[in-house]
């Protein structure tokens, strides 16, 4: 039965009634619905002889003062439209300090009373009770969050929605929705096997009439990209990736650090190799899509700067500016000029990796492709390299996987032992929870390590098969390499190039995926361009020794070698230019400092134990 206030009020008073629920699910509840609140308030006003002059009802959070109906009620109260505000319960008006303060400011200034059907409202303590209600609400949210994280650690789904392709089974465990899972597998197949981008995949699904997870919605590239990025489809769903905070403008999402995420095992829809391949292709499409690259560059995002470790970006110059008579004039070039430039020399790094920032693309591409073509035209080199691969390389990964499996079994035994100690009464429930949290984190780390080893093993096997196919293809193609299209040449480079670096002297070092009859060393060294020649446009003399056995490195000669290797990190190394072994060593050169090199020998080696690059 509704409780009434004991104080008597004049029968001719004008009243406004206010009803609120937090969400739409409460709006349909028989006990707390808006209709039920309005019915009780109308009966309350009729009993006291109030005349209802305004009704306000809305769905919103009590801690927020940015509720449209609440603000309209305050404005009309200030205009003198009613004498008393009636609510179903005091927390319907406010569950926070800020809306309570806004309400009290209006009702005290205009002498408006507050009354509730289910409890009594004390005007002196209304603000305090609203603040206490906000604290209780925050504590409830914290307890709910802790409970959800605990459920996630136990392998249960603590939320109502799961990624497309799954459903919530008994005990809040994940189950595969085969009808939707077939759509997910098709998306990954289009991406990995058919080489289709997200817009093309979305168009294909829409053209075939494949429904989305939302009835009536159509496929979009953004939705396809979200599916391709989702780690759930390879076997792990993450809870706690974002934290939601409520504001007057709505709910804000805050990304959480990965160490706070809780992994929940899900049945995988694709294997690890397929997922990794999809990520690699997606990143490649981002950098090589026509909207980002108007001009084709063979080595785009394949070459790194050895000085700072950043990639060499591609740039196309279509106009040239000249200064005459104090004015600048720009003319459009008949043939655009293509260059490669280290990202470290631009914003925000502003490094001094080399004397001239630009390297002509034609010269660099000709050099790199010439070396790769020379190897492909001699398939016996690749075959010899495959035969010379470490036979125990895969065996090493097998050993790591077996060792990780043994550690997993040991940690699981520790969990069983802790449960037995709790059952026997030797440890408390709090100690058991602490131990299980520690064990759960350890299990997550070991499972992640095992999955990484398995992915590397699968990638090695796939790469070996692909390279064997390259050998067969190289035997059959013969002299037809020059007739390959640009994209076909780039695909070959993606497969064969392990690493390609350019140092400050414009010396190129290529590391191919297949070694020859010794260590894999491929060095192409153009002659260093004179300082007066801009953008590396001087004459170049190529001296390339590719895929040859590496010779033992001879110690450099202090005082005669003129450059210290960029990889030498020790201040006591004897590679410093023009000094005797007894002279004090200068500090290591910072990458961001200007290069002070003259004509340098090829990779001098000091052989001293203090140098990490030479020992």
Assigned superfamily of 14-136 = Resolvase, N-terminal catalytic domain (3.40.50.1390)
Spatial distance between the Cα atoms of 530 and 608, rounded to a whole number of angstroms: 33
Q: What average pLDDT does this structure show over 442-450? A: 84
- Predicted local confidence at residue 392, as pLDDT: 47
Spatial distance between the Cα atoms of 418 and 194, rounded to a whole number of angstroms: 50
The model's confidence at residue 14, banded by pLDDT at 50, 70 and 90, is very high
Domain boundaries, the chain: 14-136, 155-287, 293-319+331-377+485-548, 393-477, 552-615
Range ranked top by mean pLDDT from 2-11, 223-232, 602-611: 223-232
Give the length of the chain. 615
- Predicted local confidence at residue 179, as pLDDT: 92
**What is the layout of strands, in order, in the sheet containing 312-324?**
312-324, 327-342, 358-360
Evaluate if residue 498 carries a pLDDT over 90.
Answer: no
- Predicted local confidence at residue 385, as pLDDT: 64
287-303 pLDDT tens trace: 666 665 677 888 887 88
Would strands 358-360 and 497-502 be described as parallel, antiparallel, or unpaired? unpaired
Contact 561, 604 (CB under 8 A): yes
- Predicted local confidence at residue 529, as pLDDT: 31
If you average pLDDT over every residue of the chain, what do you get? Answer: 73
Spatial distance between the Cα atoms of 531 and 537, rounded to a whole number of angstroms: 11
What is the tally of helices (H) and strands (E) in the chain?
A: 15, 18
- Predicted local confidence at residue 224, as pLDDT: 93
Evaluate if residue 528 carries a pLDDT over 50.
Answer: no
Q: What average pLDDT does this structure show over 70-81? A: 90
Angle between helical axes of 379-387 and 429-477 (0-180°, round to 10): 150
Q: What average pLDDT does this structure show over 27-40? A: 75
How far apart, in Å, are the Cα atoms of 123 and each of 79, 100, 105, 126, 132? Answer: 21, 11, 11, 5, 15
Angle between helical axes of 272-288 and 178-192 (0-180°, round to 10): 50
Evaluate if residue 614 carries a pLDDT over 70.
Answer: no
Would strands 84-87 and 51-59 be described as parallel, antiparallel, or unpaired? unpaired
CATH code of domain 155-287: 3.90.1750.20
Spatial distance between the Cα atoms of 418 and 548, rounded to a whole number of angstroms: 58
Q: What average pLDDT does this structure show over 215-225? A: 89
369-421 pLDDT tens trace: 888 888 777 777 666 666 655 444 555 777 888 888 888 888 888 888 887 88
Other Cβ atoms within 10 Å of 321 Cβ, number:
8
Output the CA torsion 294→300→306→308 (10° steps): 40
Q: What is the pTM of this model?
A: 0.48
89-148 pLDDT tens trace: 888 888 767 777 788 888 888 888 889 998 888 766 676 666 666 666 667 667 777 788
Spatial distance between the Cα atoms of 58 and 97, rounded to a whole number of angstroms: 20
């Amino acid at each position: 039965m509704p409780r009434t206030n004991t104080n008597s009020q004049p029968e001719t008073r004008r009243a406004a009634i206010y009803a609120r629920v937090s969400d739409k699910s409460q709006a349909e509840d028989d006990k707390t619905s808006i209709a039920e609140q309005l019915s009780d308030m109308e009966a309350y006003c009729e009993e006291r002889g109030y005349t209802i002059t305004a009704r306000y009802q809305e769905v919103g959070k009590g801690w927020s003062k940015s509720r449209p109906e609440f603000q309209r009620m305050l404005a009309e109260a200030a205009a003198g439209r009613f004498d008393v505000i009636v609510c179903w319960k005091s927390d319907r008006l406010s569950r926070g300090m800020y809306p309570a303060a806004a309400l009290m400011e209006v009702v005290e200034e205009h002498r408006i009373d507050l009354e509730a059907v289910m409890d009594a409202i004390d005007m002196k303590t209304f603000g305090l009770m609203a603040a206490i209600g906000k604290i209780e609400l925050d504590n409830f949210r914290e307890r709910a969050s802790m409970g959800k994280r605990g459920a996630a650690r136990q392998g249960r789904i603590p939320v109502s929605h799961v990624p497309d392709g799954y459903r919530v089974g008994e005990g809040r465990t994940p189950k595969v929705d085969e009808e939707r899972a077939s759509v997910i597998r098709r998306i990954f197949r289009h991406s990995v096997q058919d080489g289709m981008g997200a817009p093309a995949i979305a168009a294909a699904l829409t053209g075939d009439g494949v429904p989305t997870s939302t009835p009536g919605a159509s496929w979009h590239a953004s939705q396809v990209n979200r599916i391709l990025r989702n780690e759930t489809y390879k076997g792990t769903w993450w809870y706690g990736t974002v934290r939601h905070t409520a504001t007057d403008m709505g709910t804000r999402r805050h990304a959480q650090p990965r160490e706070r995420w809780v992994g929940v095992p899900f049945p995988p829809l694709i294997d690890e190799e397929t997922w990794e391949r999809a990520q690699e292709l997606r990143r490649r499409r981002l950098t090589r899509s026509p909207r980002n690259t108007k001009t084709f560059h063979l080595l785009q995002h394949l070459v790194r700067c050895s000085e700072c470790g950043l990639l060499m970006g591609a740039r196309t110059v279509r106009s040239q500016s000249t200064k005459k008579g104090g004015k600048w004039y720009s003319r459009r070039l008949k043939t655009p000029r293509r260059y490669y430039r280290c990202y470290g020399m631009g914003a925000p790094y502003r490094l001094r990796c080399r004397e001239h920032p630009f390297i002509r693309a034609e010269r660099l591409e000709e050099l790199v492709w010439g070396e790769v073509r020379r190897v492909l035209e001699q398939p016996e080199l690749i075959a010899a390299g495959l035969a010379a691969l470490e036979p125990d390389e895969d065996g090493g990964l097998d050993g790591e996987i077996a060792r990780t499996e043994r550690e997993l079994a040991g940690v699981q035994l520790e969990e069983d032992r802790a449960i037995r100690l709790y059952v026997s009464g030797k440890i408390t429930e709090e100690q058991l929870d602490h131990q299980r949290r520690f064990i759960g984190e350890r299990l997550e780390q070991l499972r992640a390590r095992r999955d990484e080893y398995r992915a590397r093993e699968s990638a090695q096997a796939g790469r070996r098969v692909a390279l064997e196919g390259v050998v067969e293809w190289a035997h059959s193609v013969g002299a037809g390499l020059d007739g390959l299209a640009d994209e076909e040449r780039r695909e070959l480079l993606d497969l064969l190039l392990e690493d390609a670096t350019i140092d400050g002297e414009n010396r190129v070092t290529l590391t191919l995926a297949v070694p020859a009859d010794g260590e894999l060393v491929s060095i192409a060294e153009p002659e260093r361009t004179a300082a007066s020649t801009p953008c590396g446009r001087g004459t170049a003399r190529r001296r390339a020794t590719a895929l040859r056995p590496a010779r033992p490195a001879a110690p450099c000669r202090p005082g005669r070698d003129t450059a210290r290797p960029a990889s030498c990190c020790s201040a006591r190394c004897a590679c410093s230019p023009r000094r005797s072994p007894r002279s004090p060593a200068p500090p290591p050169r910072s990458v961001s400092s200007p290069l002070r090199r003259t004509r340098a020998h090829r990779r001098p080696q000091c052989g001293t134990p203090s140098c990490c690059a030479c020992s």
